[in-house]
Structure 1
Amino acid sequence: MSQLADFIHQKRQQKPILSMTHVVYGYPSVEESLSWMERLMQEGVDFIEVQFPFSDPVADGPSIVAACHKALEQKLDVETCLSQLGKLAKNFPDSRIVLMSYLNPMYRFGLDKLAKRAAEENILGLILPDLPIEQAATYQAACKANGIDPVWLVTPATPKDRLAMLAGQASGFLYCVARSGVTGHSVHEGKSKVNVLDDYLAEIKTHASAPMGVGFGLRHREQIEQLTGKADIAILGSALLDAYNNGGQDQGIKLIKDLFH
């Protein structure tokens, strides 16, 4: 079992479902994004998915796209980001940081170097949504050599044979996108939609030995309750960013407490 999967396993002995919150590094400034991450860890979130911004974040909806573009008005670099995240990881050992970005900035930084530096800073998982696993042999080898888990994504539109392949190769956790499309507003109400999501997660579970995280469109307590017992991690992205934009850190923390008690 990888370090990341072991952390999830241990935490799941204490909680029915874990929380992962999404923060865009550098939004609205580097200092404020780091302050927000620290507050989240102080409040006891289990994971922070930190997004290093890119100009064309194709998996993201309007809220996160706008935050990325605002962040990129500053000069950001991956090395500084990793070092700063490492300090947070050291100060808050009860939480974990997973770094998410797109292939372009990480490829420019160097995938071998990325895996090595992530390991040195106790960042145990990397998410690159636009890197197909078929073209990721070098990246996978670098991750394996450094004890890092590459986190793969599946969606309801993923063909069953490919879903089985990705789920079978997952190690730290598998990122299960709850619906087709980009991050942001979504309607999960309705018995038929609930059943479709349940069937989708049940299908994944037949192939995956790794823990399962579910994200995209989560913003209500009922959705978290629906996932309990069917997934290990509920991932909160655009809803948390919207709350933060509307009322700062306090409003964001209120949302987390409302959703996860």
Structure 2
Amino acid sequence: MTRIDATFAKLKAEGRRAFVSYIMAGDPDVETSLELMKGLPAAGVDIIELGLPFTDPMADGPTIQEAGQRALAGGMTLQKTLDMVAEFRKGDDTTPVVLMGYYNPIYSRGVDRFLADARTAGIDGLIIVDLPPEEDDELCIPAGRAGLNFIRLATPTTDDKRLPTVLQNTSGFVYYVSITGITGAAVAQAVDVAPEVARIQKAASLPVIVGFGIRTPETAREIAGVADGCVVGSAIVAEMAKGRPVDEVLAFVASLAEGAHSA
């Protein structure tokens, strides 16, 4: 059982929804992003999604693209991201960490080496947005063998014919993208999300977590109320971009977590 599996089992036993937060590794610098990461569990975050900076983040909106560019400009690399997770693990051995990004940096490192290093660092799962199910032999299946969850995205355009293919080797949870398009582009609506989540839950024996378009505690509560939890990314990254102190950003995260947990 991975930390992700254990977290969802605990939440289910407690009758609570999950709150997942996304931050970009190295934004605005390694020290600040590590400080933020270390503070997330106490702010109510159940699972941390850690963005791996990449030069061509095609699925991300301007907020996360700019965060990645700031991180890269500051010298952030895949190795430094793994080091950041290892440092986080010195003080937290229970909160799941999911690395979210694109395949190119992993391919460049070598899949076997990357998976071994990711396990050693303390990463629990992967979301690699540019690897479709047809490419599962590239990383998804090897990741499963290495003991990492491979989390797949489902979208409003994932119809009943496509859904079984998407779910085939998915583990940990299913990430449902609530809107079409890039991150931060619109506001999620529970009335639209609910039937889609129910459809995926019927087809999968996994929790369904909803992301994209969640920026307020109220929306977090509404979306978590029709799913197994929710993800907030762009709204948190935007607070960091404003140069706010980490404690203020964590207070904002805590308000979002409270919203999700009150569902």
**Fold match (TM-score > 0.5):** yes
1:176-211 per-residue CA deviation (whole Å, 9 max, x = no partner) reads 1111111114234xxxx5332111111111111111
Verify the 8 A CA contact 1:153 1:177 in the aligned structure 2.
yes
Please state whether the residue corresponding to 1:31 is helix, strand or coil: helix
After TM superposition, give the deviation of residue 3 of structure 1 in Å.
4.5
Report percent identity of matched pairs: 32
Q: Corresponding residue for 1:112?
A: 112
| 1:207 is aligned to 2:195 | no
Q: 1:53 aligns to what?
A: 53
1:245 to 2:241 alignment: yes
**Paired position in structure 2 for 1:166:** 166
TM-score normalised to structure 1 length: 0.90
State which drifts further: 239-248 or 17-26. Answer: 239-248
Unaligned stretches of 5+ residues in structure 2:
259-263
Is the CA contact 1:101–1:127 (under 8 Å) kept in the aligned structure 2? yes
Equivalent residue in structure 1 for 2:218, among 213, 219, 222: 222
Matched AA of 1:183: T
Q: What's the offset of the Cα at 1:168? A: 4.4
Equivalent position amino acid for 1:33 in 2: S
| CA distance in structure 2 between the partners assigned to 1:229 and 1:195 by the alignment | 11
Matches within 5 A, 1:5-16: 5-14=5-14, 16=16
2:251 pairs with 1:257: no
User: Shift of residue 164 of structure 1?
Assistant: 2.9
What is the CA distance between 1:212 and its match in structure 2? Answer: 1.5
Stretch deviating more after TM superposition (70-79 or 24-33): 70-79
Aligned match of 1:79: 79
Q: Does 1:99 align with 2:73?
A: no
Q: What root-mean-square deviation, in Å, do the aligned CA atoms of Structure 1 and Structure 2 show?
A: 1.9
Amino acid corresponding to residue 227 of structure 2 in structure 1:
A
2:26 is the alignment partner of 1:26: yes
Q: 1:241 to 1:15 in 2, by over 3 A?
A: farther
Gap runs ≥5 in structure 1: none
Partners of 1:168 and 1:207 within 8 A in 2: no
The residue aligned with 1:178 is: 178
Q: Could you state the TM-score of these two structures normalised by the residue count of structure 2?
A: 0.90
Number of aligned residue pairs: 257
Q: What letter corresponds to residue 21 of structure 1 in structure 2?
A: S
Summarize the Cα distance change of 1:121–1:15 in structure 2 as closer, same or farther, 3 Å threshold.
farther
Query: SS of the counterpart of 1:92?
Result: coil
Give 4+ residue runs of structure 1 displaced > 4 Å after superposition: none
Q: For residues 170 and 136 of structure 1, do their structure 2 counterparts lie closer, same or farther at Cα, with a shift above 3 Å needed?
A: closer
Q: Which residue pairs with 1:139 in the alignment?
A: 139
Q: Quick one: distance in 2 between partners of 1:61 and 1:121?
A: 28
Q: After TM superposition, give the deviation of residue 135 of structure 1 in Å.
A: 1.3
Deviations along 1:12-35, one digit per CA (max 9) or x if unpaired, are: 333621211111111111111111
State how far apart, in whole Å, the 2-side matches of 1:124 and 1:258 are.
26
**Does the 8 Å contact 1:89/1:123 carry over to 2?**
no
State the alpha-carbon separation in 1 of the partners of residues 4 and 28 from structure 2: 29
After TM superposition, give the deviation of residue 153 of structure 1 in Å. Answer: 0.6
Q: 1:70 to 1:2 in 2, by over 3 A?
A: closer
- 1:125-136 alignment to 2 at 5 Å? 125-136=125-136
Give distance in 2, aligned partners of 1:2 and 1:41. Answer: 17
